[in-house]
Amino acid sequence: MSFPEKLKRRLTLHLWRLRHGRETLVPEVVWPPQKARPHTVVVFLPEKFEHFDVARQILSEARRRIDPLLFVVCLRENYRGWIDTTLDMRPVVYTDAEKSWLGLPRARIIRRLREYSPDMVIDLSPSYDPFLAHLSVMCGARLRLSFDYQDAGLFYNMLIVPEGDKPLSERYKALVGYL
């Protein structure tokens, strides 16, 4: 990780702690859920192409296992043509213009996701991404699922701990297995 990335990470984490005044999120989810199925699920796809390419391959399996009424996929504008259009899902695309200088989400993308009133967020980023981590909390979903990494407890209330040093495709399959 380069020095500017480390600096942005530290600044965003300190701002989060100052704003919310707690070290980690208190779990606010009753498991198993009371509803038979979630109404709206938002899936955040990673920004790095090598991670995105692996993550997009599990979308159909995730859609089938969760079976929400509305399936929303949030991805970068330049990846729009790479997702399977036969799946019943709504893409929400963003560009770098919707990020602040710290890499945090601007109000426009937050409003677009809040319109869907998501019940569940699944972040498929294998490591900390300030934009997606903050966006997952700001969109208002009660259940936020992600891989476990340093400081993930600040943003997510359900963390998947991968076993050992498995390849990313195996970690994604394990995550879908939890759904």
pTM of the model: 0.79
Single out the residue of 138, 52, 142, 147 nearest to residue 98, CA to CA.
138
How many beta carbons lie within 10 A of that of residue 3, not counting itself? Answer: 7
Phi, psi of 72 (to 5 degrees): -115, 135
What digits encode the pLDDT tens for the residues 11-38? 777 676 766 665 555 444 444 455 557 7
The answer to whether the beta carbons of residues 130 and 99 sit under 8 Å apart is: no
d(CA 114, CA 40): 11
| 29 or 50, greater pLDDT | 50
Q: What is residue 110's predicted lDDT score, i.e. its pLDDT? A: 92
Q: How does pLDDT run across 116-125, given as a tens digit for each residue?
A: 989 889 999 8
Give per-residue pLDDT as tens, 120-163.
899 998 888 889 999 999 988 888 988 888 778 888 888 888 77
Is the pLDDT score of 108 beyond 90?
yes
Please, what sign has the CA dihedral across residues 20, 119, 52, 82?
negative
Distances (CA, A) of 179 to 38, 85, 129, 143: 11, 22, 22, 12
Cβ pair 94, 132 in contact under 8 A:
no
Q: What are the tens digits of pLDDT across the range 65-100? A: 887 788 888 999 988 888 777 778 888 999 999 998
Closest CA to 43 of 130, 137, 145, 131: 145
What is the reported pLDDT for 171? 84
The phi-psi region of residue 90 (left if phi > 0; otherwise alpha if psi is between -120 and 50; otherwise beta) is: beta
SS (H, E, C) 6-47: HHHHHHHHHHHHHHHCCCCCCCCCCCCCCCCCCCEEEEECCC
Identify the CATH class of 3-26+36-178: alpha beta
pLDDT at 20: 64
pLDDT tier, 4 (very low <50, low <70, confident <90, very high otherwise): confident
Q: Pull the structure tokens for residue 145.
A: 């699922």
